[in-house]
Amino acid sequence: MNQLEALKQFTTVVIDSSDMTAIQNYCLGDATTNPSIILKSINSDRYKHLIDDAVDYAKKQGGSKEIKIINASDKVAVNIGTEILNNITGRVSTEIDVRFSFDKFRCVNRAKKLINLYKDNGIDPSRVLIKIASTWEGIRAAAELEKQNIKCNLTLIFSLEQAIACAEANVFLISPFVGRIYDWYKTRDLLVNPYLATQDPGVNFIIDIYNYYKNYQYKTIIMGASFRRIEQITELAGCDYLTISPDLLKELKNTCSPLIRKLKPFYNQFLYKKQTPISESEFRWRHNQNPMAVEKLSEGIRQFYIDQHKLEVVLTSRF
């Protein structure tokens, strides 16, 4: 048995890609997308008809050129998500415009718009996860959306405070970014040498969240994301979900060495003291005490915006 098949015994494996060939090859239940992934897709001949459809939709909606570009951008994301859903059995994650990451009201409205666009494409909303950056405002938006049965994927998780606030908000799923945490420590030469997955700060961050959630029986799903090395993945065997790029899926599939489950629920209230509900001021203060989390959350939002803007520049030429 290869390591991919072994991993699937303990963990729901998700493909982190909009590449249809890879999605069809691996036949996994769920898929995740983001502005960077969507940007890569628009240059593919396979998606040309979806881009054309989005542009036609935006023109019919009318409005200023700016509004048309925004509508086309949202429709592109939904059209690609729909194409993915036609090739998988589970859910797809679609990210809202990251420019709304600090505006609860606009997060909620954009999420509803995306869900309605999916409905127009004949997709049941239960198959869609709305991705929102895990700012305080984003988490509050998700809390409101979950009450309206719109399931959310809170992304760019880098601190335990973010994870706890999401669980208290009854968010469906969170995406802690293992690889980006690894990158932060690596660029500062703070990793052990030689590399050990057991001492990888991104891996141990996921383990802390997993143990805390299971200890206090939170229902929020933990989906480890943004992997750089196969060892990070195998060390997290047993995590609820792991979203993995096609390159690393291929490496797992081509590796036949034994893989054992590393994460299992256990209960120890003394090891993981339950935090009191986090107020906005406490959340901001505690998160602010973690320089890595502050930097990577801000950087992640900025990078997604850069790719979102590049997508909009491409669409601008169509109007």
Which residues are annotated as catalytic? Answer: 131
CA-only gyration radius of the chain, Å: 19
Burial 170-181 (b: 16+ CB within 10 A, else e): ebbbbbbbbbbb
**Residues 126, 172: contact at Cβ < 8 Å?**
no
Q: Identify which of 188, 78, 96 has the alpha carbon closest to the alpha carbon of residue 142.
A: 96
CA distances from 117 to 79, 113, 173, 312 (A): 9, 6, 22, 18
Beta strands in 166-313 (DSSP E): 173-176, 221-224, 241-244
Residue corresponding to tokens 């120890």: 268
CA distance 225 to 222: 9
Give the DSSP H/E element, type plus range, for residue 233. Answer: helix 230-234
Q: Identify which of 283, 244, 9, 28 has the alpha carbon closest to the alpha carbon of residue 139.
A: 283
- Helix, coil or strand: residue 222: strand
Q: Which long-range contacts (CB under 8 A, 24 or more apart) does 290-295 make?
A: 290/158, 290/159, 290/161, 292/158, 292/181, 292/184, 292/185, 293/158, 293/159, 293/161, 293/162, 295/184
